[in-house]
């Protein structure tokens, strides 16, 4: 049996790549991880997991190679896979996982953990298909004040990955997959882990944090693609430095619209338009577009298999149905869309109050709930501050205990303690960067909090 036969992640037709292209599953900073080793580990951990009584497993890994091993092992052992909203112990507890499969076991001292890197059992790969009905639970920020659980079946992910390969497989060939986005949210899970595994494209296990890492990787691999987001791409100063220039077969961007100037810059400097992908955790991938000069708003093209419903004459709520929406049924996006001919459409912003901070969806109501639950806080209002970067600002009325702490230890200490609490729940990008401690929240004569007056608290002090 060659390596290609062993990567049976999903049933169905597979891309035609040579066996050598399946030999390397992932590259590390300076080495490579081979398919045989990968599959022996998956089989060994799956065997171990089958003997464990826990059914609901959170998968929390910092390293994408271990994440991929863990994903397949849990799927083979037919465990429910849970991806908490972020990687802290509080997120795992909120998701009601019975145990955690992780490469960071010391992060979860009070939970049942299995160190994915420490399982010594190994096994021979069993070439059986995975169960398409296997349940996968993802989390995203809702508008209601609590993290929102989104259920997927493995078959939905399989269908979506197959559609991505139909759309771009030929262009990408055997390119190495580089990424700047996390693997535990749907975009990263599909684009940097499951799609490469299924298509036999090696992925680069570290997450690239600096633009110059792409140069280093591009010259090492010679051929690659980038899975990124506007938060990252808007901060790359020079795409002409991505050398050799023909090494980049595609630059994917998702999470928010790519600003016009950045899209133009990528096209002009790298000679290749970024591919924007539109979708959400609830709907999966919906559509894509290449930036085109001088068209105003570039329309979105539906991915193969996607149907949309939206008014044609005026923007209205966009609904979506595809083989990877839940039970292939219609799902509302929360975005305003306008249908065009030939399965294309335009987007016109959100229909609800869900906000994004640097491409990440955040519920301010939820974060306010966490703050008010702290003994130092009696009231809290959060707002999105716009500047060179977008960030969250916090306006806080301290409780008696909070005021005592402020007098004894100072505002910096109070802020630090509140941040520590929020960091157990939120990704670093989302925690408030600016704080204002006030006597009372600024209200108008009607007792309503005015957002303009909240904003003013931050502009006055620069």
Partner 1 sequence: MNTLIDELKQLIIRVLDLEDVTPADIDPQAPLFGDGLGLDSIDALELGVAIQKHYHITLDATSAETRQHFYSLANLAKFITERQAS
Tell me if 137 contacts partner 1 by CB under 8 A: no
Q: Of 146-205, which residues contact partner 1 (CB under 8 A)?
A: 204
Shortest spacing between CB 428 and partner 1, in angstroms: 4
Q: Looking at 127, 311, 387, 443, which residue binds partner 1 (CB under 8 A)?
A: 387
Distance separating alpha carbons of residues 287 and 281, to the nearest angstrom: 14
Token code pair at residue 75: 């799927």
Pairing of strands 56-60, 32-34: unpaired
298 versus 405: smaller Cβ distance to partner 1: 405
Structure tokens at 53: 């009584």
Closest approach, Cβ 218 to partner 1, in A, equals 11
DSSP state of 130: P
Binding flag, residue 215, partner 1 (CB under 8 A): yes
Spatial neighbors of 358 by CB under 8 A, at least 6 apart, are 231, 389, 390, 391, 429
Nearer to partner 1, 166 or 411 (CB): 411
Give the binding-site size for partner 1 (rule: CB under 8 A).
36
Stretch that binds partner 1, among 108-116, 125-133, 158-166, 381-389 (CB under 8 A): 381-389
18/237 with CB nearer partner 1: 237
Q: Which of helix, strand or coil describes residue 59?
A: strand
C-beta closer to partner 1: residue 321 or 423: 423
CA dihedral 181, 184, 185, 188 (to 10 degrees): 40
- By the 8 A CB rule, do 363 and 348 touch? no
Burial of 442 per CB tally in 10 Å (0-12, 13-18, 19+): middle
- 444 touching partner 1, by CB under 8 A: no
Closer CB to partner 1, residue 289 or residue 361? Answer: 361
Give the nearer residue to partner 1 in terms of CB position, either 217 or 371: 217
Residues ≥6 apart with Cβ < 8 Å to 149: 95, 137, 138, 139
253-292: contacts with partner 1 (CB under 8 A): none
| x/- track of binding to partner 1 for residues 225-244 (CB under 8 A) | ------xx--x-x-------
Which of the ranges 27-35, 147-155, 303-311, 315-323 carries the binding residues for partner 1, by CB under 8 A?
27-35
Among 13, 170, 296, 388, binds partner 1 (CB under 8 A): 388
Smaller CB separation from partner 1, 127 or 410? 410
**Quick one: which of 15, 21, 34, 212 contacts partner 1 (CB under 8 A)?**
212
Contact string 30-69 vs partner 1 (x = CB under 8 A): x---------------------------------------
- Residue 323 contacts partner 1 per CB under 8 A: no
CA–CA separation, 81 vs 71, rounded Å? 8
Residue 338: CB minimum distance to partner 1, A: 32
Interface mask (CB under 8 A) for partner 1, residues 410-429, using x and -? -xx--x---x---x---xxx
Q: Per-residue DSSP letters for 238-305?
A: -GGGSSSGGGEEEEEEESSPPPHHHHHHHHHHHSS--EEEEEETTTEEEEEEE--TTSSSPPEEEPTT
d(CA 272, CA 235): 18
Closer of 10 and 232 to partner 1 (Cβ): 232
Q: Is residue 207 a contact point for partner 1 (CB under 8 A)? A: yes
What is the spatial distance between Cα 57 and Cα 381, in angstroms, rounded to a whole number?
35
| C-alpha–C-alpha distance, residues 447 and 443, integer Å | 5
Asked if 211 touches partner 1 (CB under 8 A), the answer is: yes
Plot region of 4 (φ>0 → left; ψ -120 to 50 → alpha; else → beta):
alpha
* Binding residues vs partner 1 (CB under 8 A): 28-30, 204, 206-213, 215-217, 231-232, 235, 237, 358, 387-389, 411-412, 415, 419, 423, 427-429, 431, 433-435, 461
């Amino acid at each position: 049996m060659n390596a290609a036969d062993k990567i049976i992640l999903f049933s169905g037709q597979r891309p035609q790549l040579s066996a050598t292209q399946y030999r390397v599953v992932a590259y590390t900073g300076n080495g490579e991880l081979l398919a045989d080793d990968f599959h022996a580990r998956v089989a060994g951990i799956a065997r171990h997991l089958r003997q464990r009584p826990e059914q609901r497993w959170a998968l929390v890994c910092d390293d994408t190679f271990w994440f991929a091993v863990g994903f397949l092992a849990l799927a083979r052992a037919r465990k429910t896979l849970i991806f908490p909203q972020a990687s802290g112990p509080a997120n795992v507890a909120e998701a009601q996982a019975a145990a955690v499969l992780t490469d960071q076991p010391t992060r979860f001292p009070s939970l049942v953990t299995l160190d994915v890197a420490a399982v010594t059992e190994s096994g021979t790969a069993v070439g059986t298909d995975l169960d398409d009905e296997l349940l996968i639970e993802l989390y995203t920020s809702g508008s209601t004040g609590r993290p929102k659980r989104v259920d997927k079946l493995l078959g939905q992910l399989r269908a979506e990955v197959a559609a991505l390969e139909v759309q771009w497989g030929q262009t990408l060939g055997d390119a190495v997959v580089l990424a700047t986005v996390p693997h535990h949210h749907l975009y990263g899970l599909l684009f940097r882990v499951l799609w490469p595994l299924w298509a036999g494209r090696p992925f680069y296990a570290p997450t690239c944090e600096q633009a110059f890492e792409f140069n280093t990787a591009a010259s090492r691999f010679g051929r690659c693609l980038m899975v990124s987001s506007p938060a990252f791409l808007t901060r790359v100063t020079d795409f002409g430095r991505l050398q050799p220039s023909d090494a980049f077969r595609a630059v994917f961007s998702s999470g928010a619209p790519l600003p016009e100037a950045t899209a133009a810059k990528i096209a002009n400097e790298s000679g290749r338009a970024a591919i924007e992908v539109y979708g959400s955790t609830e709907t999966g991938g919906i559509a894509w577009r290449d930036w085109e000069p001088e068209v105003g708003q570039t329309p979105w093209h539906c991915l193969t298999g996607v149907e949309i419903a939206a008014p044609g004459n005026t923007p209205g709520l966009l609904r979506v149905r595809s083989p990877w929406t839940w039970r292939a049924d219609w799902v509302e996006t929360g975005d305003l869309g306008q249908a065009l001919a030939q399965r294309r459409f335009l987007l016109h912003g959100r229909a609800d109050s869900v906000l994004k901070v640097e491409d990440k969806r955040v519920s301010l109501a939820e974060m306010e709930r966490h703050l008010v639950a702290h003994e130092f806080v009696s009231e809290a209002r959060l707002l999105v501050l716009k500047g060179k970067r977008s960030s969250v600002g916090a306006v806080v009325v301290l409780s008696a205990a909070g005021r005592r702490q402020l007098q004894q230890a100072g505002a910096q200490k109070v802020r630090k303690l509140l941040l520590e609490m929020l960091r157990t729940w939120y990704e670093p990008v989302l925690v408030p960067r600016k704080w204002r401690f006030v006597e009372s929240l600024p209200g108008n004569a009607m007792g309503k909090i005015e957002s303009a007056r909240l904003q003013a608290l931050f502009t006055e002090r620069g």
